[in-house]
Structure 1
Amino acid sequence: MNQDVYVAGVGMIPFTKPGAGEAYPQMAAQATRQALADAGIGYEQVQQAYVGYVYGDSTAGQHALYEVGLSGIPIVNVNNNCSTGSTALFLARQAVASGAADCVLALGFEQMRPGALGAVFNDRPSPFERFDQATAELVGQDEIPLALRYFGGAGLAHMQQYGTQLSTFAKVRAKASRHAANNPLAMLRKVVTEEEVMNAPVMWPGVMTRLMACPPTCGAAAAVICSGAFAERHGIQRSVRIRAQAMATDRPATFDARDMREVVGFGMAQAAARQVYEAAGIGPDELDVVELHDCFAQNELISYEALGLCGPGGAEQFICDGDNSYGGKVVTNPSGGLLSKGHPLGATGLAQCYELTHQLRGTAEQRQVEGARLALQHNLGLGGACVVTLYERV
């Protein structure tokens, strides 16, 4: 894979609460049309499409793209839990980098229901059996929804090892709200203070309040990926290149380490990030902006350490020093992240791509990270898969 890969166009619709927006075919078609218009090409020039969603029937990707056109191209439906959108991007990049295609669409959408995530197929083994068993053994708390036990348990492990304060997670959520206030596509744009986060309804005493969790969300986002030769032939801007990308899945330590941080993907994120840094020949200290998977404030904190933005146990100081925001070492989640922007599972990874593409183009308006040159994306799905992507301004 030696062909340069560029982000030719991106599109994203405003994220909404379940039931407040259109159905998935309309959402997905709108995001796709935006990405095509941004790239300056027609759908007939797209040679392949990878379409991600978690909660939907087979070939929903075809239904979504048939709203845009009936071109006969290969359409591959993708489901990798919360990393679905970035998995679609991973496959699109591979197709272009390998020379199998010159112009590929990555699309992600989700039409969600209110409330906590849950299984759809209850008549067969759950893909989370091993994760659920490990969580039951490590944290118990059967009365709390599983997603909260996963990530709350990971945060609790950090608190127990390093003395991290609950208020530090509240600082993460407050920072997310300040960033989202400048994002017209974010679902939650109201600024909340650390104190308001701490005083929100308690979901796990001493571990998590409601505002530390991302809300169920509906939405869609898309990206057109192309080769340099295709971009040159069609007059497409080549200002954003995917410099390196890696996907990792679970290894024995996920369960053998007896640590909830490993159960929720710390090791996957660390391995993928290291592969990306090595492939690009850079270190995390060279990054300007990061969009990471903050499905819970707890996961943002531990992800700082997994991605090497700070050392082991250094996340609390990193947050308290303001090194995760404007004026600090690296701006994390300028979009507001999942906590404020929302988390429509299949769309999340491509929404991150949308944000970082605009940051590197210098078109992020009030959210703009001055002089952004290198941008890292981290998208995690339990079960599990983690995709880390490095973009650069060229």
Structure 2
Amino acid sequence: MANKVYVVGVGMTKFEKPGRRKNPDGTDWDYPDMARESGTKALADAAIPYDLVEQAYVGYVYGESTSGQRAVYELGMTGIPVFNVNNNCSTGSTALFLAAQAIRGGLAECTLALGFEKMQPGSLGTVFDDREQPMGRHITALAEISEVLFPVAPWMFGAAAREHMKEYGSTAEHFAKIGYKNHRHSVHNPYSQFRDEYTLDDILDSRMIYDPLTKLQCSPTSDGSGAAVLAGADFVDRHGLADRAVEIVGQAMTTDFASTFDGTARNLIGYDMNVRAAQQVYRQSGLGPEDFQVIELHDCFSANELLMYEALELCAPGEGPALVEANQTTYGGKWVVNPSGGLISKGHPLGATGLAQCAELTWQLRGAAENRQVAGVRAGLQHNIGLGGAVVVTAYQRAAR
């Protein structure tokens, strides 16, 4: 029987525009500085020293080998295994998955998942151009059904939006309303890169990136870090951590299936692997979509959020626009989706995103999310995807007392 896994401490930095933040001495805010801040906060939240951490899983996409070691050396040098993790935009939640798996499998009692990113301004690009690109097959397949546009990411998600519009009648306004919602939520998040509220017209009238996606419906590049301390049941009891513990009651990772290349834009951006991961989590946890009150999901573009309403079974295929129209994914609705502001407004430092989602849901379940707090939270759901591809879905509940 698998061991129970608890989140006992979380921490994160404010997400920043790349290169903007400086240290007090005027030097650049570098990834060790980010890791020190988020990791120190997570350990303080757990009220334990770094010496009790037995393994660390450190996620980042852009960086040299063993940057993970350099990052956690800011917290201590205790000789523990440090694993460097890279899974595109799902890197942070992959580190979380591996840290939880070590406890679940009885390999450790206390682990650290930490993610960071120090990014370049502007759209994502490739670093190694002398070899096959990981997304090459996806791009070639999408080019067969859609006009080609660069940068690649907005083209891929925009093509999925257009496909949904054609098949189900969704409109540009439905996608824009998601951007409007998430920017409005971020006003109350001190960790968010952007805290400006916009009108729906502002969203619709901002610069077109790839029709129907305008700039204010796209996540920005960001610098930042997030961290989570995980522990098993005996560790929680021994150190008196039950009052802050949040249990991971279901967690699944899936990668691309053969159906990814079935000729639809939807599956090329991971729809099918999202469905399969969510179904695994619902089976593991005994919870269904209706049992969650708050959800942090991967809104790298507004189109993905709408499609994920359907993939996570908040509604049937094609009914995502109806949820938007009925305001069912914001305060006062059936779920509050991305109370943090999501990637669109909070920011998207690739290695940190999944751990920032974990932090937000932990705060929500503790009733400690301040002006963002969702009423009556009993369970939270997390979704984090990286193309090429991997998705991690995680279900959380307060620890039983």
The two structures share one fold, judged by TM-score above 0.5: yes
1:145 maps to what in 2? 151
Contact 2:256–2:390 at 8 Å: present in 1 too? yes
Q: Cα distance, 1:279 vs. partner? A: 1.0
Indicate which of 213, 228, 234 corresponds to 1:229: 234
Query: Are residues 1:239 and 2:245 paired?
Result: yes
Alpha-carbon distance between aligned partners in 2 of 1:16 and 1:158, rounded to the nearest angstrom: 32
Query: Are residues 1:45 and 2:61 paired?
Result: no
1:343 maps to what in 2? 348
Q: Cα distance, 1:296 vs. partner? A: 0.2
Structure 2 counterpart SS, 1:105: strand
Alpha-carbon distance between aligned partners in 2 of 1:160 and 1:19, rounded to the nearest angstrom: 40
Quick one: which amino acid aligns to residue 63 of structure 2?
G
Query: Are residues 1:18 and 2:18 paired?
Result: yes
1:100 maps to what in 2? 107
Question: Where do 4+ consecutive residues of structure 1 move more than 3 Å?
Answer: none
Query: Are residues 1:118 and 2:132 paired?
Result: no
Structure 2 counterpart SS, 1:138: coil
Alpha-carbon distance between aligned partners in 1 of 2:191 and 2:178, rounded to the nearest angstrom: 20
Structure 2 counterpart SS, 1:345: coil
Alpha-carbon distance between aligned partners in 1 of 2:163 and 2:78, rounded to the nearest angstrom: 51
Indicate which of 32, 57, 62 corresponds to 1:55: 62
Alpha-carbon distance between aligned partners in 2 of 1:40 and 1:123, rounded to the nearest angstrom: 47
Q: Cα distance, 1:173 vs. partner? A: 0.4
Quick one: which amino acid aligns to residue 12 of structure 1?
M
2:26 maps to what in 1? none
Question: What is the TM-score when the length of structure 2 is the normalising length?
Answer: 0.96
Q: Cα distance, 1:135 vs. partner? A: 1.6
Alpha-carbon distance between aligned partners in 1 of 2:209 and 2:84, rounded to the nearest angstrom: 35
Alpha-carbon distance between aligned partners in 2 of 1:181 and 1:60, rounded to the nearest angstrom: 33
Q: Cα distance, 1:210 vs. partner? A: 1.1
Q: Cα distance, 1:286 vs. partner? A: 1.2
Quick one: which amino acid aligns to residue 253 of structure 1?
S
Contact 1:52–1:347 at 8 Å: present in 2 too? yes
Q: Which residues of 2 match residues 129-168 of structure 1 at below 5 A?
A: 129-142=136-149, 144-168=150-174
Alpha-carbon distance between aligned partners in 1 of 2:358 and 2:88, rounded to the nearest angstrom: 17
Query: Are residues 1:183 and 2:189 paired?
Result: yes
Alpha-carbon distance between aligned partners in 2 of 1:124 and 1:12, rounded to the nearest angstrom: 35
Q: Cα distance, 1:225 vs. partner? A: 0.2
Quick one: which amino acid aligns to residue 340 of structure 2?
S
Alpha-carbon distance between aligned partners in 2 of 1:264 and 1:152, rounded to the nearest angstrom: 10
2:279 maps to what in 1? 274
Contact 2:39–2:114 at 8 Å: present in 1 too? yes
Indicate which of 359, 363, 375 corresponds to 1:358: 363
Alpha-carbon distance between aligned partners in 2 of 1:243 and 1:254, rounded to the nearest angstrom: 28
Q: Cα distance, 1:116 vs. partner? A: 0.7
Query: Are residues 1:32 and 2:39 paired?
Result: yes
Question: What is the TM-score when the length of structure 1 is the normalising length?
Answer: 0.98
Contact 1:135–1:149 at 8 Å: present in 2 too? no
1:170 maps to what in 2? 176
Alpha-carbon distance between aligned partners in 2 of 1:204 and 1:283, rounded to the nearest angstrom: 34
2:135 maps to what in 1? 128
Q: Cα distance, 1:365 vs. partner? A: 0.6
Structure 2 counterpart SS, 1:26: helix
2:25 maps to what in 1? none
Indicate which of 304, 307, 312 corresponds to 1:299: 304
Indicate which of 280, 287, 290 corresponds to 1:285: 290
Quick one: which amino acid aligns to residue 169 of structure 1?
F
Contact 2:18–2:121 at 8 Å: present in 1 too? yes
Indicate which of 379, 383, 387 corresponds to 1:382: 387
- Percent identical residues: 53
Q: Cα distance, 1:228 vs. partner? A: 1.1
Structure 1 counterpart SS, 2:282: helix
Structure 1 counterpart SS, 2:351: helix
The number of equivalent residue pairs is 391
Contact 2:213–2:301 at 8 Å: present in 1 too? no
Any gaps of 5 or more consecutive residues in structure 1? none
Alpha-carbon distance between aligned partners in 2 of 1:360 and 1:378, rounded to the nearest angstrom: 16
Q: Cα distance, 1:29 vs. partner? A: 1.2
Query: Are residues 1:73 and 2:54 paired?
Result: no
Indicate which of 231, 245, 254 corresponds to 2:260: 254
Alpha-carbon distance between aligned partners in 1 of 2:396 and 2:219, rounded to the nearest angstrom: 25
Alpha-carbon distance between aligned partners in 2 of 1:208 and 1:27, rounded to the nearest angstrom: 31
Q: Cα distance, 1:209 vs. partner? A: 1.1
1:64 maps to what in 2? 71
Contact 1:214–1:340 at 8 Å: present in 2 too? yes
Q: Cα distance, 1:239 vs. partner? A: 3.4
Q: Cα distance, 1:141 vs. partner? A: 2.8
Q: Cα distance, 1:319 vs. partner? A: 0.5
Query: Are residues 1:210 and 2:215 paired?
Result: yes
Structure 2 counterpart SS, 1:350: helix
Q: Cα distance, 1:312 vs. partner? A: 0.8
Alpha-carbon distance between aligned partners in 2 of 1:301 and 1:64, rounded to the nearest angstrom: 35
Indicate which of 189, 193, 205 corresponds to 2:199: 193
Quick one: which amino acid aligns to residue 150 of structure 1?
M
Quick one: which amino acid aligns to residue 188 of structure 1?
F
2:373 maps to what in 1? 368
Alpha-carbon distance between aligned partners in 1 of 2:46 and 2:287, rounded to the nearest angstrom: 29
Alpha-carbon distance between aligned partners in 2 of 1:49 and 1:325, rounded to the nearest angstrom: 35
